[in-house]
Chains A and B, each alone.
Chain A
């Protein structure tokens, strides 16, 4: 522990990141550039989220890390260990007990409270990236609120698939101003983006931080005759019987066997412990 500065990054770097975070909170949905550091893990493994978490952590914090909703997958385990070692903070798997939660691709099922921070790992922060490859042009489009192109993507979805087929990284408009990529969370989670907790988004490779302050107005883009639909698999959880949670499909054999289970492992375990079981 004594070999590292608290939470790995040096204090100047953390100050720089905190400034970017504050600016992001002041301009919800705006992508703030920051000088992303090399972290002891490859890009794509959450270097952005880790830097934001490092800048937010204080010694009294209790950290939870999830990857696709699960506490026990490689990415979650290694980042949790990383901070247990470099910051010496307590860790937990229980959503309600955590003060800082770093997440990859999910929002926990338990509603978060005002004294919690949710940190997202973001691979590609620019919602317009695959429509307009030039960074200079996308920045200008954000500045001028030139967002017609975003609807062209949704139009193409309907023309080709008969419905808006975008199932994750579903674009949202924040406070009637910036169009934002909510990181690759399933669109099932989009309605939860207006929440009590502070939400911070860190993209390490792309060197961008953006944020949603508590109770922010977040609207998923759609058409009048094709309204936004936060869909999920049409089945109850095979372990806890929940019908209101986001489900993972698990292939169980080579003969087409499958089961649907809650993607939020902590929530599912809690329900099983409380005596809720599959019917």
Chain B
């Protein structure tokens, strides 16, 4: 079996400041990887480099494509990378507004990726959009409403539907529950866990919320100052942290 995603010595600097450095990881099909760390630890830079939003200075991001097997997406042509970005990959932004088209109806938002890969039958597109709104627990009657009229949690669920509609194999998530209140977070996590398990998705989740990775992630990577300081199975890292920074992180969580 080949890993779905192999990252090799990935590095990105902003001038003299290190964004992330010497990051390597393997992500296997169906696996969820969590990346945790404090603000400024380089986890979002790493995610952006892996997803092709930022061009890394060094390293490779090798994705196991459906057609040609493992290929380095950093050196891939831009059309090919964009095609990946709207078929096999998905990216869930922290702020739903960054990932949605606020002037376009919910149905149009979900349908955009379908139309981008060539769907040209209005009835089919609408039926798929309706189905996906149901899967993320949005009332089908809201299909023609604009996301601006949705609550924060609904916007985030709509963003997830819009991303998963083309049946991607790999999802990048940047703080998917950030900025939502606790009960909405719980519902969203429950939904995400169900979708990930049912569709057999692989995912990379960046967050500073340890509860999120405890629920969703199989494996965990802890970052500090742009470097990986500890990796391992989620429960292992959280219950028996080895690195000083991880110990600090785990002990900082408020117990209710």
Give A residues with C-beta under 8 Å from B.
Answer: 144-149, 151-152, 155-156, 158-160, 222-226
Known interface pairs A144-B82, A148-B115, A151-B115. Does A156 touch B108 (Cβ–Cβ under 8 Å)?
Answer: yes
Of A144, A152, A159, which one neighbours B112 at CB under 8 angstroms?
A152
B7 at the interface (CB under 8 A from A): no
Report the 10 A-B pairs with minimum CB-CB distance, sorted nearest first: A148-B116, A151-B115, A223-B122, A148-B115, A224-B121, A144-B79, A152-B108, A152-B112, A156-B108, A155-B108
State whether B107 touches A159 (Cβ < 8 A).
yes
- Which residue on chain B has the smallest CB distance to residue A147? B116
CB < 8 Å: which of B107, B112, B113, B121 contacts A223? B121
CB distance from B88 to the nearest CB of A (A): 16
Q: Which residues of A sit under 8 angstroms from B115, Cβ to Cβ? A: 148, 151-152, 155
24 A-B pairs whose Cβ atoms sit less than 8 Å apart in the complex: A144-B78, A148-B112, A148-B113, A148-B117, A151-B115, A151-B120, A152-B101, A152-B104, A155-B107, A155-B111, A155-B122, A156-B105, A158-B122, A159-B107, A159-B108, A159-B126, A160-B144, A223-B120, A223-B121, A224-B120, A224-B121, A224-B122, A225-B121, A226-B122
CA A82 to CA B86, docked complex, whole Å: 51
Q: Which residues of A contact B113 (CB under 8 A)?
A: 148
CB neighbours of A223 from chain B (8 A): 120-122
CB B130 to nearest CB in A, in angstroms, measures: 11
Which residue of A147, A151, A158 has the most chain B CB atoms within 10 A of its CB atom?
A151
Report B-chain residues with C-beta under 8 Å of the C-beta of A226: 122
B123 within 8 A of A: yes
Name which residue of chain A comes closest to B112, CB basis. Answer: A152
Q: Does B229 contact A (CB under 8 A)?
A: no
- Minimum C-beta distance from B121 to chain A (A): 5
* Cβ contacts B83-118/A at 8 Å (1 or 0 each): 000100000000000000100110110011101110
- B125 contacts chain A at the CB level, 8 A cutoff: yes
Known A-B contacts A155-B108, A156-B104; the reply to A225 vs B123 at CB < 8 A is yes
Contact indicator A152/B144 (Cβ below 8 Å):
no
Complex Cα distance A152/B105, Å?
A: 10
Name which residue of chain A comes closest to B106, CB basis. Answer: A159
Chain B residues within an 8 Å CB radius of A146: 82, 116
A151 and B118 CA atoms in complex are apart in Å by 10
CA distance A114 to B112 in the complex (A): 40
- Give the shortest distance, in Å, between A81 (CB) and chain B (any CB): 43
- CA A207 – CA B105 in complex, angstroms? 33
Given the known inter-chain contacts A144-B79, A146-B116, A159-B144, please indicate yes or no for A152 contacting B121, CB distance below 8 A: no
Chain B proximity of A270: nearest CB distance (Å): 41
Specify which of B108, B116, B117, B125 lies most central, judged by the most chain A CB atoms within 10 Å of its CB.
B108
Chain B residues near A145: list those with CB within 8 A. 79
- B residues near A152, Cβ cutoff 8 Å: 101, 104, 108, 111-112, 115
Instruction: Please determine whether B122 and A225 come into contact, CB atoms closer than 8 angstroms.
Output: yes
Interface centre among A144, A148, A225 (most CB of B within 10 A): A148
Nearest B-chain residue to A141, judged by Cβ: B82
User: Which residues of A have CB within 8 Å of B125?
Assistant: 155
Shortest Cβ distance from A222 into chain B, in angstroms? 8
CA distance A146 to B82 in the complex (A): 9
Let me know if A149 and B112 touch, CB within 8 A: yes
Closest chain A residue to B113, Cβ basis: A148
- Chain A residues contacting B79 (CB-CB under 8 Å) are 144-145
| Cα(A66)–Cα(B10), bound, Å | 61
When each residue 131-157 of chain B gets 1 if its CB lies under 8 Å from chain A and 0 otherwise, what string results?
Answer: 000000000000110000000000000
Cα–Cα, bound, A224→B125 (Å) = 11
A147 contacts which chain B residues (CB < 8 A)?
A: 116
Q: With the chains together, A187 CA to B104 CA distance in Å? A: 23
The interface residues of chain A lying within 8 Å CB-to-CB of B144 are 159-160
Residues of B within 8 A of A158 (CB): 122
Query: From B109, which residue of chain A is reached at the shortest CB distance?
Result: A152
Q: State in angstroms the CA–CA spacing of A158 and B105 once bound together.
A: 11
Give every chain A residue within 8 A of B126 (Cβ-Cβ).
159
Min CB–CB distance B218 → chain A (angstroms): 33
Complex: chain A residue closest to B126, CB-CB: A159
B108 / chain A contacts, CB cutoff of 8 Å? 152, 155-156, 159
Q: Looking across the interface, which residue of chain A has its beta carbon closest to that of B118?
A: A148
Q: In the complex, how many angstroms separate the beta carbon of B158 from the nearest chain A beta carbon? A: 15
Distance between A124 CB and nearest chain B CB, rounded to angstroms: 17
Not counting A144-B78, A156-B105, A223-B121, a sample of 20 additional A-B residue pairs whose C-beta atoms are within 8 angstroms of each other reads A144-B79, A146-B82, A147-B116, A148-B86, A148-B112, A148-B113, A148-B115, A148-B116, A151-B115, A151-B120, A152-B101, A152-B108, A152-B115, A155-B107, A155-B125, A159-B108, A159-B144, A224-B121, A225-B121, A225-B122
